[in-house]
Structure 1
Amino acid sequence: MNSFRDLNSDTVLRFGPYAFHQRQRLILDGDRPLRMGGRALDILQVLVERAGHVVSKDELIAHVWPTSVVEEINLRVHIAALRRALGDGQNGERYIVNVPQRGYSFVAPVESVPATTLVSIETAQKHQHNLPARLTPVTGRDSMVGSLVRQLPVRRLMTLVGPAGIGKTTVALRVAELLLQHYKDGVWLVDFAVLDDPARVVDHLTQTLELEVGTTLDVLANRHMLLVLDNCEHLLERCRALVDDLLASAPRLSILVTSREPLMAAGETVQRLPSLAVPPASASHSVAESMGYSAVQLFVSRARARQQGFALREQDLKAVREICRRLDGLPLAIELAAAQIDALALVGLQAQLDNCFQLLTQGRRTAVPRHQTLKAALDWSYERLNQGEQTVLQRLSVFKMSFTLEAAIGVSSCELLKPDQLATLVQRLVAKSLLSMDQVNGTTRYRLLNTTRTYALEKLEHSGHLRTFEQRYSHYISRARWVSGVQVPMQLVE
């Protein structure tokens, strides 16, 4: 299995008991990964690379927050977190000192060494992986990634669940990177998106691990490794059986699954991945405050990569906030929108929101097919629904806001789709991450993401039934406003 890249193929910066793998953005205390936020890592990298020299506060801010205006307090907060993570000053060891009126300096000796000198050849051969090289940093997922890194070695089977474009694969790969040193037999990505035949699931796994043809899974019995099973939603039954077999036969194996619905396997811990944080309408007109929201951070980062010199200004805040909100805080949708900043500018992007399906069809040629456009990602989900699920998804798209099951039945049921059938299909759409479900004042309410609604609405139009269900929706809402002659507030209707 020597065709895979070894973890220890880059130069490492050593100081005290720590080893800083810059390419992996990974800091190890011995063989234990340190949990550290992305900003703190950026600061540390600048200071370590210029160890022994004073780096001004303005220079640090310009490097770590190149696209926004940030107060000095933000830098101080991250420096303090960095010191805590390194145990700065706890045992007499000093790493970062504040030089009054000048800035900060990394004062511990730093040694730059080839990674292969840190471990024996035998250990280096064991730490292998097939993870793709990361081209961009992960935005807004530090808390989720940290939680998964802590839990996975103990819980053994965890499934990341969420809708198309939410970033399940991105988070899973980041977790895998941070756990590279924990699993002595490696970390392996097995992507099932390329597979349609359930009968080939085991063969695909063994081929990915470069095991000999005909090898049984028993060969993994004593392996201490992490498997990332990516895109399992269309092979649920077979993947569930595979996972059950693996966990039973290989007690030192951990498995991280990504899927749009849970496997429902024994011992599975399900973690739903939320959207990125979007500033509320009540947010102030402060660039610094807006940049505290991960959806805005991602938009600005990708816009700057596309348009050199792009910077978020106060007059842009309303437009950027609206773009991120209308795109549901979905990382893929935000990236695709920001990629058009050159062609459309912010005003043009905002104008396109009423027809955000146009934005969803713009693509990234370097991505895998299902991630090149958000439409492709939604196609992937939609084509794997049965006819009843597709029909209900289309009909629910006429709801402009959240709705109750009673409202869904009132608008969508018919002679061929009875209320009890519709209720079951609604729950299936929730399980498949195409419909969100929340408790609001003790009432269960459902909602389609704006992007999913736009997609389903077009499907309904193509079916020729859009006008029919728009009228049914309008009539239901009109009737629901009045109960026993008393007008009901609209928030109770929708």
Structure 2
Amino acid sequence: MRRTSRSGGSPARPPTTGNLPAELNRFIGRAGELADVEGQLAAARLVTVTGVGGVGKSRLALRVGAGLQDRFADGVWLIELSALRDGHLLWHTVAEALGVTGSGSPQAALERHLADRNALLILDSCEHLVAESARLVSTLLKRCAGLRVLATSRRSLDVEGEQLFPLAPLPAEIAAGPEAGPVSDAVALFTERAAAVQRGFPGDGVRAADIAELCRRLDGIPLALELAASRLRVLSVEQILHRLDDRFRLLTGGSRSALPRHQTLRTAIGWSHELCSPEERLLWSRLSVFAGDFDLDAVEYLCSGDGLHADDVLTVLTELVDQSIVVREESGGRVRYRMLDTVRDYGAQWLREMDDADALRRRHRDWYLGLATWCELDWFGPRQLEVARRIEDELPNVRLALEYCLESPEEAHVGQYLAATLWFYWICCGRLSEGRMWLDRALALDGGQPEPRCKALWVAGHAAVGGGDPVAALGLLHEAERLAESCGDEVALAHTQQILGATALITDDIARGVRLLRSAVERFHAMGELNAMVLLAQVQLGQALAFAGDGEAAVALLQEADEIAQDSGEQWARSYALYVWAHTLWRMGDPGKARELALRALAIKHGFRDVVGMTIVLDLLAPLTAADAPEAAARLQGSAEAGWRSFGAERFGSRHFSEPYEAGAGDARKALGDSRYEAAVAEGRGLGLTAAVSGVLAGSSVPTQPCCGPRPQDDLPQAPAPAGEVPQARRPGQRTL
């Protein structure tokens, strides 16, 4: 499995470990299964570990992956699918896990990224996306010869060449006495988990035979064993054994054709459910509405009322955490919660039986609609990085809210509003491709209300411009313009003119760009509007004037934009002001100041994961570097090329946006010669965009703060919109020019 260079036996690139999480508790048993799966992976390129939910498929796969890290030069990568509800996002999810970013097709990007790599993908929890997972795996294995896949699923993917590994529960036989040898794996697992709950377990009062009997009656299913161990907080092993009789009988009356192990897992979860108080059961069922993890504020809003008082939610949630029904996770001083998939699914069944599922889905949508609205408001100010982190954390739930809106025609207008309100995340934080997908799906529906559709149209147009697709942008923007004029939406009309002006810039129609952008800025001034997009319009006008040859007027506008941004604490639009200012000074013959500004812009863009922004700044840094370090300049161009490839049209197909590249290439090639220049470009291309940006910033004195680092303490306002209502586009407290 080790990949070597084409010229010899040494690895083609330094080893990459991947993204496997560290183990939080000891892995017990499964020595034979580990060896068998490793052996299958040596012989086959796709191995699927199958078995009942809770049997330990994911844990086994992670353990196998950790043991094989030194055999895959390009790493072992975990892709968790449990929180993914929409198969349309599978390619996006895999690309994100591998760090393959951009606004183009994630499928094409992944195929390019993995084409010559020796890597192992662990595709975890495929059962709810079997068809989509099968297509993805089949496509990648056919086109990426060095790739292997280890999947976990309750059923096979049914892909050619697939090797199945059915995973049985842990052995749970009863030992006859000390001479019978070591205890079973099931007993070892239960004992260790019990000792974490009850210090000194098992102690003198617990009989080994009772432990063995408990493990046998739970059929050695790890999830059932861990739930049983958690109950030792309040019950003895003997008491648990006495209670198991009723619980098994309660949940064995289903279909006779159902798999016995499925009934056993259901028994384990049902038994835990029966031991809960009515309030705990109610909260358990309501928590199943979340996708991925969630925070306490969301729980208190969604899950209180009708049998569960808001003041009691924290107490009841604490009980569920204590019983291992809810998992508590802490990062950066913030606590979030999640549920195991099987536990969530069991709660969802009870929610449906209570006929509360649709009402909870609607409340869930309203919460995340309100969150998106407040985050958009907070985007213009000093908390942009916190806002970006917050949406990143909540992305599975935001996606679920969008799905709810798009499932019903009467909710389509809310879906259009929500998809458009998240413009700052799609466009500013490297999510152009996914944003365009949601906007396209929302716009394909007739929402019946012009304002949300109008906003969705100009935001979709903006995303298309950022993706280098002016043809699509023009179609969207012309419809937005007609709709804005017909309904009298002056704000949308100004934004539409702004993005039409940006479209003119990337198509080199500079005179038209100046005219449209000047009109947009004047409209914003007349309305007293000021936010990040309005500030960007001023920056774009400065860029248009610079392209038209009026550098002094451009610099004046950019300096003013920079001052407004610093005064408000805004960073994203400011990064574009710094970039355009640097570009203008480079054209005016001031490379020293231009480089300083470009590096400051790059640091900000790196913090937001702004793929388009990082790419254009690297392009500009190349000619600013070529005189002193031509080889470094060529590498920058190669890395920028990797960025451009991620969203289609290279340098937007624009003569003006290509000027830095042409100048940098000419200087570097002249200094290095063709052969050395091409080799350096290839090296930068192989390094990739993000790694190159990190390297540039590491060699500078400019501080960076990535948007997805540790979560900060924040107090983002969280006021959901009233059910079914779209928040007003005009907000109180807006800044004025």
Return the TM-score normalized by structure 1: 0.49
Instruction: Considering fraction of residues, name the structure with more helix.
Output: 2
Which of structures 1 and 2 has the bigger CA Rg?
Answer: 2
